[in-house]
Amino acid sequence: MESNSLKVYIRTYGCQMNEYDSEIMAGLLENSGYHLTDNPAEAGVILLNTCYVREKVKHKIYSRLGELKKLKEEKPELILGLCGCLVQKEPEEVLRRAPYLDFILGTSNFYQLPEVLEDISGNHNRESQSGDKYARVVRVEEDRAIPEGMPKLRKRRFSAFVSIMRGCNNFCSYCNVPYVRGREVSRPCKDILREIEELAQKGYKEVTLLGQNVNSYGKESREKVDFADLLGFVDQIEGLRRIRFTTSHPKDLSDKLLEKMAELDKVCEHLHLPVQSGSNKILSRMKRGYTREHYQNLVDKLRQAIPEIALTTDIIVGFPGEEEKDFQDTLELVETVGFDGAFTFCYSPLKGTEAAQLEERIPEETSGQRLRRLIELQQKILLRKNEFLVGKEVEIMVEKISKKSSDELQGRTRTNKMVVFEGRKELIGNIISVKIVASGCWALRGEVSSC
C-alpha cells in the first residue's frame, strides 16, 4: 500500500502562470516518487501556491492556513509549505503569522521543492528519534534563473500553458507583479519551441503562451526574436491547431505583431487586452503608459485586420481620484469597443504599491455602485454579441464533460466563447464544427454539425 507521506496536495491560487508553476512542481514531485491527491486529509505534504494580486486573496490564504494548522496539530508529521507571490512579497510576515509552516519557497525557488522535501523528511525522522526541534526551510531569492527542461504534470490533455517569459518591467502603480515576479526574463526561443513540439507530439492541439506582458518578449534578450517572430515559429509546429496568448499590454502591441496575428492560421481570433480605465487622468495615475485614444486606435486596427476578433479586457473601478466623469469615460469606451468579456474589479489598495499611497480614495459604496453599473452594461453588450452568433457554424475544440450535465460536453470557439452541446465523450479533444442554436451571457448552446 502506498504511504500517505508520499501523497501531495497542491492548491493553486491566482493566475495561469501560477497554474503552470504548479504543473512543474507536480511533475518534479512525480519524478521523485510522490503522487498527487485531491484530498488534503490523506496527504503527507500540503502545499499552497499563493497569489498576491489583491489583499482579499491574501486574507483567503491566511484563513486557509488557519484551517491547515488544526490538521497539522492532529497530524504533526504533516509537512506544510507555502510558495508563490505572497511568500516572495512578505516572507517574514508569512512566518510570523504561520510559524508552524515547514517550508516557504519564493517565486524563483519553487522548482527546488523535491530537495526541500527530502531535507525536511530527513529532519522529521531525526527529530522523532532525538526529540530535537527540526529546522524550517526558507528559500526566497530574487531573480534566480529558472532551469529549462523540467518535467510537468499537465492538468489538461489537449490544451496546455507554456510560459514564454517571467516578470514585468512596467510598474503599474497598483500592481505587485514586478516586486514578486521580478524583471522581465524571456525564455530562449529554442526551449519554448521544443516544449511545444513535444506537446504536439503527445496530441496537444492548443497552446496558450504565457507571460505578464507577452508583447515585450525578447526585448531584454540577446536573441533577435520578438513576440511576432516567436508566433511565426510556433505556427509552423506540425500537429498544433490553435495558438493563444496572454497577457498583452496595449502600449507594446506593435503593427508587426498585429499583421502576424492576422496572417497566421493557427493564431486564434481572440485577444485579451486589459484597458483598466477609459479615463486618461486615471490611466496616467495608474502609470499604464497609454491613452484611451491609443487603445481605441489599436482596437480599430485590430478589427480592420481581423474583423471577427473577440476582445476581452480587465477594468478597475474606483481607483483613487476617479470622478463620475472619469467613470463615464470608462462606460463610454466599453460601449464603443463592445468587449466580448471583461474582468471587472473594485480597486483595493495593495501594500507596497505606489497607488496605495494615493489620496482621494473612493468610498466603497461608490465603487460598488460603479461596478454594478459597469457589469450591467457589459452583460447587455455580451448578450447582444452572443445573440448575433445564433444560426452560425463555428469551430470548437471539445474540452470536457459539461459541469451542469453529464450528457453534455463543452468546448471553446476560436474566439474563446464557451459552447455547450449534446455529444459523445469520445469527442473530447477533437476540433469539430457546431451550429449555434441559442445564446446566453456566459455560454452558447450548439448542435454538432460535423466531426
Nearer to ligand SF4, 212 or 279 (CB): 212
For residue 264, the number of C-alpha atoms closer than 13 Å in the C-beta half-sphere is: 25
Binding string, residues 240-259; x marks residues near ligand SF4 by CB under 6 A: ---------x----------
168 binds ligand SF4 (CB under 6 A): yes
Residue 303 CB, nearest approach to ligand SF4 (Å): 23
Q: Which amino acid is at 177?
A: V
175 binds ligand SF4 (CB under 6 A): yes
Residue 212 CB, nearest approach to ligand SF4 (Å): 4
177 binds ligand SF4 (CB under 6 A): yes
Among 170, 208, 312, 366, binds ligand SF4 (CB under 6 A): 170
432 binds ligand SF4 (CB under 6 A): no
Helix (H, G, I), strand (E, B) or coil at 244: strand
Residue 216 CB, nearest approach to ligand SF4 (Å): 9
Nearer to ligand SF4, 9 or 339 (CB): 339
Which residues, including other chains, have CB under 8 Å from residue 369's CB and lie 6 or more apart? none
d(CA 219, CA 169) in angstroms, rounded, equals 11
241, 262, 341, 351 from 414: Cα distances, Å: 10, 13, 14, 38
180 binds ligand SF4 (CB under 6 A): no
Look up cell 509546429; give the residue.
Answer: 237
270 binds ligand SF4 (CB under 6 A): no
* 278 neighbors 334 (Cβ within 8 angstroms): yes
Nearer to ligand SF4, 37 or 344 (CB): 344
Nearer to ligand SF4, 168 or 210 (CB): 168
* 423 neighbors 448 (Cβ within 8 angstroms): yes
Which of 412, 409, 389, 391 is closest to 400 using CA atoms?
A: 409
Among 112, 213, 313, 353, binds ligand SF4 (CB under 6 A): 213
* Alpha carbon of residue 30 to chain centroid: 23
User: Interacting stretch for ligand SF4, rule CB under 6 A, among 88-96, 173-181, 372-380, 440-448?
Assistant: 173-181
Q: Is 374 exposed, middle or buried, given 0-12, 13-18 or 19+ CB atoms closer than 10 A?
A: buried
- Residue numbers at the binding site for ligand SF4 (CB under 6 A): 168, 170-172, 175, 177-178, 212-213, 249
